[in-house]
Structure 1
Amino acid sequence: MNIIKKLLPEQINEEDHLFNNLQQLLHRAGINEAELSRQTNIPTSTIHKIFSGKTTDPRISTLKTLADYFDVDLGDLYSNNILERHKPIPQGHSLPVISWEDCIKSPNPIAHLTVNNWEQWIVIDQVNNTAIYGLPSKPSMEPRFPRGTILIVNPEIKPIDGDLVIVKFANATEAALRELTIDGPNKLLMPINQNGSIDKFDGTSKIIGTVIQTRFTFRD
């Protein structure tokens, strides 16, 4: 009996889905057929027949081994959107990149964001803080921050003199970037370009995050 037909009889191109999904999973894993054979103990000849499409009715035990290795469900091997179902989390710490409007909406604007419901992410070195997020630079921030720069923001650390901070001004619809200057009891929010104005940090505004690093990415 054809295993593929038995598992998902409603599908009309099961063999094509299986072949395409396995090819995509192999590419995502960054290995070749020989390495997959070594990792799974499946004979190289069997792997080659499956990945070349010469075997359209592989053993269920072989498919189960492959599914376990790629960390997917057996039935998903026959779906038409397997990579959407199983998006990889990059190495390091993956941060969501949000908008300047979204970052002022709540104390933790990324609390409910995952790789399955949010598309824009950036990877930085491993950190032990799940509240950190990225903000894209604005054209007004040039030339200090060229287009394509992502500001990495930590909302939980206390800023010190000279830090770049994310500020929520009263009645503003989006956050702003400023440089914090502290001179004794006086605190000033300095603009990052010459055309901006200097604001006193007097309680009418709120610092919601501190820039801890930046990353540059080429635009799509």
Structure 2
Amino acid sequence: MSLDNKKNRLIGSGKLELNVRKNIRYLMDEAGMIEAELARQTGIPQTTINRVLLGETLDPRATTLVSISKFFGVTVDQLIGHLPFNKNPIEGAYHPTNKVAWSMIPIVDWDIVRAWVFQREKFIPSSHNDWITTERGVSELSFALRTLPQMEPRFKKGSTIIVDPKQKYKDGNFVVVSCNGATPTVRKITLDGDDVYFSRLYSSDNPSLKQKMDEIIGTIVETRINES
């Protein structure tokens, strides 16, 4: 039976809208996700998601259902209530029924990076709307930053980096660092015995030795490239 036929049968019984709304809400709750993040991750307008969750869309577009089902690692049949959910989501997809495997991370501004590590409790779904998900094992202090123009071409314009303050840096890693209290920036780490050196992304200058007032805020553990 085609997707349209399944949808029409459920529409006729009045169950499609209820099933979709209930199942999407269930998946979002399991993931600890808000509408804004689901919209960002799937590319679906947030207004569309809001209408579906409010029951204002009796016949959601097939493209909407496909995008949401792929994101959550379920089938469209499961999303519309034609089949029950199972505990073995599609490989490579996000799987909210196994929340320990992925995390929600806030995307913060560069000027509050230093405060973030010490004010984690201020960033909760109800007060922060910009989040990113990762399946990488990261600490609760992790945060994300949008790359800056001066970070090109090593970090593509508009991309997002995920930073973990609890991840021990290694030789050759990129870190977010505040040098002598200045605005945080990205540096490459070079280790020489117990000494730590910082290298600018693009400079002929020799690496500089880490000073007492320099603060390594966190290690960059993942980069999300903006393909647009």
Query: What's the TM-score, normalizing by structure 1?
Result: 0.58
Task: Map 1:66-81 onto structure 2 (within 5 A).
Answer: 69=23, 71=25
Equivalence for 1:83: 50
Task: Map 1:175-214 onto structure 2 (within 5 A).
Answer: 175-194=184-203, 198-214=207-223
Equivalence for 2:132: 122
* Equivalent AA in structure 2 for residue 46 of structure 1: S
- 8 Å contact from structure 1 (residues 167, 209) kept in 2: yes
Equivalence for 1:8: none
Q: In structure 1, how many angstroms separate the alpha carbons of the residues matched to 2:116 and 2:173?
A: 22
Q: In structure 2, how many angstroms separate the alpha carbons of the residues matched to 1:206 and 1:130?
A: 19
Q: In structure 2, how many angstroms separate the alpha carbons of the residues matched to 1:168 and 1:183?
A: 20
Task: Map 1:16-165 onto structure 2 (within 5 A).
Answer: 34=6, 45-47=12-14, 69=23, 71=25, 83=50, 91=94, 92-127=102-137, 129-165=139-175
Deviation, 1:119, is: 2.5
Aligned-pair identity in percent equals 20
3-state SS of 1:211 partner = strand
Query: What's the TM-score, normalizing by structure 2?
Result: 0.57
Q: In structure 2, how many angstroms separate the alpha carbons of the residues matched to 1:67 and 1:215?
A: 30
Q: In structure 2, how many angstroms separate the alpha carbons of the residues matched to 1:67 and 1:137?
A: 35
Residue 109 to residue 150, structure 1, CA distance change in 2 (3 Å): farther
Q: In structure 1, how many angstroms separate the alpha carbons of the residues matched to 2:150 and 2:118?
A: 26
Residue 71 to residue 121, structure 1, CA distance change in 2 (3 Å): closer
- 8 Å contact from structure 1 (residues 96, 110) kept in 2: no
1:125-145 Cα distance to aligned partner (Å, 9 max, x none): 253532221111111111111
Unaligned runs of 5+ in 1: 1-30, 38-42, 52-62, 73-79
1:217 and 2:226 correspond: yes
Q: How many residues align?
A: 162
Deviation, 1:35, is: 6.2
* Equivalent AA in structure 2 for residue 115 of structure 1: P
1:61-108 Cα distance to aligned partner (Å, 9 max, x none): xx7x88755548xxxxxxx99839x79997443321111111111424
3-state SS of 1:101 partner = helix
* Equivalent AA in structure 2 for residue 47 of structure 1: G
Q: Higher helix proportion, which one?
A: 2
Residue 152 to residue 32, structure 1, CA distance change in 2 (3 Å): farther
Unaligned runs of 5+ in 2: 27-46, 55-67, 73-93, 95-101
- 8 Å contact from structure 1 (residues 110, 133) kept in 2: no
1:114-171 Cα distance to aligned partner (Å, 9 max, x none): 3332222222225353222111111111111110221111111221211111111223
3-state SS of 1:204 partner = coil
Q: In structure 2, how many angstroms separate the alpha carbons of the residues matched to 1:215 and 1:67?
A: 30
Q: In structure 2, how many angstroms separate the alpha carbons of the residues matched to 1:69 and 1:33?
A: 20
Q: In structure 2, how many angstroms separate the alpha carbons of the residues matched to 1:143 and 1:119?
A: 28
Q: Based on CA coordinates, which of the two structures has the bigger radius of gyration?
A: 1
